[in-house]
Amino acid sequence: MDSTASFSTSLFSSPLVIQDQRLNQDNSSIDSSFLQNQTNVPKEFLWPKVDLVNAHQELLEPLVDLEVFFRGDELAIQQAARVIRVACLSHGCFQVINHGVDSRLITAAYDHLNRFFQLPVSQKLRARKTTTDGLNNLSYSGAHANRFTSNLPWKETLTFGFEENLKESSVVDSFKSSLGDDFEEMGKTYQKYCEGMKNLALVVMEILAISLGVDRLHYKKFFQDGRSIMRCNYYPPCPEPGLTFGTGPHCDSTSLTILHQDEVGGLEIFANNKWQIVRPRHDALVINIGETFTALSNGKYKSCLHRAVVNSERARRSLAFFLCPREDKVVRPPEDLVHGEVTRAYPDFTWSDFHLFTQKYYRADAHTLHNFTKWLLSSKPIYHN
């Protein structure tokens, strides 16, 4: 099939307005000590009232027990795939238990998260991007104030890349080179955490393939040599939590997000036309479908529209692992999803182009993939094998 000729023209119903929000070029940073000393929310952190709709209902979804996968129970795996399919067709979010990631490793990851964000801002600033993509380096951000000047999130983040095919100590080296030898153990913990998340992500990819009725190894093979992203989030208490967000409403541009949130909670997703609360479970991991997988499913599975709220009493923490394909991989759905008269929902693209779009030209929101498609077709060549 000609991948350039049959994707839906309904994507182009309105003109594309590129959001160039790289307005704050002085690399200023806002850390938790600044945020915690505020008695009111600064204007840069105020969000539009239309976005500040409270969630009052808890998302009630069946938990997916992955023990059936690890013991090879095919009937139970098919049932789990059906549960996941329903969630992904609706809103793109589900939770898994018995996922194979050691709870002690998760606890250790939080311990090191606490240690990092308690550092003086001068030390945290040593973990700043020094390359164009930043994926092999530590990247500290205080409220993304180095990228944006309005609708800032009430949080700090530490982001770094993970590539399984690199030497075993790649994450360790990033921590040591940026922060010093005293942070070697922190690097080792996050190296192990990323390895566990990558293994789990490939399991989920296999079940997603089953749920879509395609070769069960198709997506697993596609992501096997990928270069993923890990992010530690710290949300300080906020004096007026009803006026801002820890993370504003958006869909992840990556393929799959595996999130662990601490007992404080704060994750909310948009399902059934309203915001709903995802209650934290210490034994569960939240799985969100990202925009890249929406394209890989030919638009069948929804990317999860989500946000994070803050509170006035307690700091909130979370650990997010973003599964990504290799940068030069062409993102296109398997033939089983586009045969016959089926219309292509999106043109071919590479993850490197999509990542570039979100880092340099567009702030992620609920319409990122839609607008990326327009940008791609207006400025980029079509990819062929």
For the segment 65-80, the average pLDDT, to the nearest whole number, is: 95
Phi-psi region of 273 (alpha: psi -120 to 50; beta: other; left: phi over 0): left
Rounded to the nearest integer, the mean pLDDT of the chain is 86
Structure tokens at 70: 């690890």
Residue 29, pLDDT above cutoff 70: no
The percentage of residues in the chain with a pLDDT greater than 90, rounded to a whole number, is: 66
Q: What is the pLDDT of residues 202-222, one digit of tens each?
A: 999 999 999 999 999 999 999
Given a cut of 60, whether residue 28 has pLDDT beyond it is no
Q: How far apart are CA 216 and CA 209, in angstroms?
A: 5
In the 8-state DSSP scheme, what is residue 178? H
Residue pair 350/372 in contact by the 8 Å Cβ criterion: no
The single-letter DSSP state of residue 71 is: T
Q: What integer pLDDT is reported at residue 141 of this predicted model? A: 84
What is the chain's length? Answer: 385
| pLDDT one-digit tens code per residue, 269-315 | 999 999 999 999 999 999 999 999 999 999 999 999 999 999 999 99
- Listed in order, strand segments (DSSP E) in the chain are 57-58, 64-65, 93-97, 139-142, 156-163, 227-235, 247-250, 256-261, 267-271, 274-277, 285-289, 306-308, 316-323, 330-331, 349-350
Residue 84: φ, ψ to 5°? -65, -40
> Over 80: is that where the pLDDT of 248 sits?
yes
316 is catalytic: yes
pLDDT at position 297 = 97
User: d(Cα 55, Cα 78) in Å, to the nearest integer?
Assistant: 33
Helices marked H in 118-217:
121-124, 170-179, 184-212
Distance (Å, whole) CA 68 – CA 163: 28
Which residues contact residue 119 at a Cβ distance below 8 angstroms, ignoring those fewer than 6 apart?
none
128 near 159, Cβ under 8 Å? no
**Over the stretch 317-374, which tens digit does the pLDDT of each residue have?**
999 999 999 999 999 999 999 887 789 999 999 999 999 998 888 888 999 999 999 9
Q: Which residue is catalytic, options 227, 316, 317, 332? A: 316
